[in-house]
Chains A and B, each alone.
Chain A
Amino acid sequence: MSAFIIYQSVASGIATGSIYALLAISLVIIYKSTEVVNFAGGDVLMVGAYLGMLSLVYFGLPYIATFGFAALGVFVIAGGFEFFVLRSIGRRQRHGHAQVVSLVVATIGLAFMMRGVVRLFNYTEQPRRLAPLFRGPPVHFGSVILQRQDVAIIVISVLLMAVIFTFFRYTLAGKALQAASQNPSAARLIGIPVRNMRTLVWGGACAISALSGVLIGGKFLMTPDFGGDVVLLAFAAAIIGGFRSLPGAVLGGILLGVVQNFVGFYISSSAISVAPFLVIMIVLLVRPQGMLGGASILRKV
């Protein structure tokens, strides 16, 4: 009996956890390549989910096209924000504490603007859910029962992660992006357009969170504020992984999804919401650089 519950909790934890992992990947990619913590990450996901709803309900497009629509829409918004706002801030202010604060505050501003715009539509007043990806009876894996939707979420997330890893490891564009983030001046010397790379990273990474938004829209109830709750879990996942490591973010996300299920089952459902913060605090106090963060890097003066 209890073994069954453990398997079941792990399996459905992996489904939600892989969505957190996708959002965490998006945060980590942006942080690694631009040193900006994207506080608008949750709201980008929210906009992605609502774009998905626009495409599914209003345009009546199939799910495949919906993923493309949400990703493209968010790519334009986030890329444009980097191009018009973050780039100018970076140009006007010398590098350092003041610049980081300005950039973070700008992302908070973006979060509020997006939330404000989504709220303009009366349709978003009621909490809603996207149609499930796949209908039909749940699937049995041995003794574990999973909704078809959860299976689809896991499969799609794993595929996406594989695409992201392949992109960074094996394609020229991916390697150029890594070079641009690791050593911007050397990358510029060998002809990589570092500034345009940043726009691309912002658009691309936010498009990933838009995809996770469409995935999560079928599981959670959507409101214009729901991104804020989800992004906390993604932050926690990224922190567990050290905030600089993509595999770490994936591990952290899935770990968090599973831990949430256990906490909800064995302790109480109100403790679910505090679990990520406990995880963040404990991880940072024990290992300030995260579980997979490696040795802490001393910044150049």
Chain B
Amino acid sequence: MRTTATIVGLAIACLGISTVAPIYYLYLANMLLIYAVLALGVDVLMGLSGQFAFSHMAFFGIGCYATALLNLDLGIPFLLALPIAVVMTAVVGVLVGFAAIRLNTIYLALATFAFAEGMRWIFNDWTSLTGGANGLRILPMFAFGIEITSDRQAFPLTLAFAVVVLLATLMLHGSRFGRELVAVRESEHVSMASGINVRRTKISAFVVSAVYAGLAGGLYTLNHSFVSPPEFGFNGAVLILTMIVVGGMGTVPGVLLGVLIFGLLPTILQSTLRSVLIWQEFIYGAILTASVLLMPRGIWGAFKSLRGFRLHAGSRLGQGMRP
């Protein structure tokens, strides 16, 4: 209850600041919020339920193109197009989930990766619908009678959705479903023996993750006037994975920390250290490698063990269950 109040209070404070903050900061804030929604969804699938899947950029793309096209071609207003797009993404998520429950580890990673690349090919080659490689121009969306033309106007709506997603994720982590996901991650056999429907749990994880990614994709259309297929490629998938792993997999604060660090890293490198810009890719790789080497549980995990806390509920359960 106190966490909820803190989050809502912080959000209202941000809303206040947003009326006077420079527009570039609002662009960054919108981007971080969208990344946060996407990363929290991927964490439900990867961090909590342990399914090593690369399908999220495809779901993100479906949400984005669906929202934009429903609005452009059928004239459906944003606040209706977004839920429709999310439902469409969820349906695809169910299909992918059904296919994915037969696979695990590397086979799952490669099959979902192939699915994501196939979707990108559709975005790229179904030219009559998506505009193909030239991209799709998005018209400004209308919400509550206001035409959203700037990042400042997009911010309140993006923030509201992100806060709802954050609160929902916190609830999910503490719920029976959340514990079932962790149990499936730690041992499918033990979960099955304890009466958990492993198949249903895994498919649900895919659907939840798809819903988050679809929502993030829909929000993306608010503050972008243009989308093109490369935005939904493998680099994006790796970026989200990096955020989760470096921040702290399976923990909400860790994921948010990761989003903050890697969302801002390119901007920080560009503004402060122009001379090292050429090293950007190397620095990125070095941070990635060093963090899994030195902080296996991510920054949040390292912070918590420094403070002498027990680690998150997931690993406690895991240690108890390992033979």
Q: Could you tell me which A residues sit within 8 Å of B by CB distance?
A: 31, 37, 85, 88-89, 92-94, 96-98, 100-106, 108-117, 119-120, 228, 232, 235-236, 239, 243, 270, 273-274, 276-278, 280-281, 284-285, 288-289, 301
Q: Given known contacts A102-B245, A285-B99, is B121 in contact with A301 (CB within 8 Å)?
A: no
B50 at interface by CB-CB < 8 Å? yes
The DSSP consensus for interface residues of chain A is helix
Closest 6 CB pairs of A and B: A112-B285, A116-B282, A116-B281, A109-B289, A109-B288, A113-B285
The DSSP consensus for interface residues of chain B is helix
Within 8 Å CB of B118, what residues of A? 274, 277-278, 281
B275 at interface by CB-CB < 8 Å? no
Q: Could you tell me which B residues sit within 8 Å of A by CB distance?
A: 46, 50, 52, 99, 102-103, 105-107, 109-111, 113-115, 117-118, 121, 125, 185-187, 189-190, 234, 238, 241-242, 245, 249, 278-290, 292-293, 296-297, 318, 322-323
Q: Are B292 and A243 in contact (CB under 8 A)?
A: no
Within 8 Å CB of B107, what residues of A? 239, 243, 284, 288-289
Q: Given the complex of chains A and B, what is the CA–CA distance between A117 and B286 in angstroms?
A: 11
Residue of B nearest to A93 (CB): B296
A168 to chain B, nearest CB (A): 21
Residue of A nearest to B99 (CB): A285
Within 8 Å CB of A104, what residues of B? 52, 109
Q: Are B280 and A106 in contact (CB under 8 A)?
A: no
Q: Are A284 and B103 in contact (CB under 8 A)?
A: yes
Within 8 Å CB of A114, what residues of B? 285
A89 to chain B, nearest CB (A): 6
Q: Given known contacts A119-B278, A281-B111, is B121 in contact with A274 (CB within 8 Å)?
A: yes
Between A and B, 28 residue pairs with Cβ closer than 8 Å are: A31-B106, A85-B289, A89-B292, A93-B296, A94-B322, A98-B297, A101-B46, A102-B292, A104-B109, A105-B241, A105-B242, A105-B292, A106-B293, A108-B238, A109-B288, A109-B289, A113-B281, A113-B285, A113-B289, A116-B281, A120-B278, A120-B279, A120-B282, A236-B114, A273-B121, A280-B114, A284-B107, A301-B190
- Tell me which of B115, B282, B293, B323 contacts A89 (CB under 8 A): B293
Q: Are A281 and B115 in contact (CB under 8 A)?
A: yes
Q: Given the complex of chains A and B, what is the CA–CA distance between A247 and B110 in angstroms?
A: 20
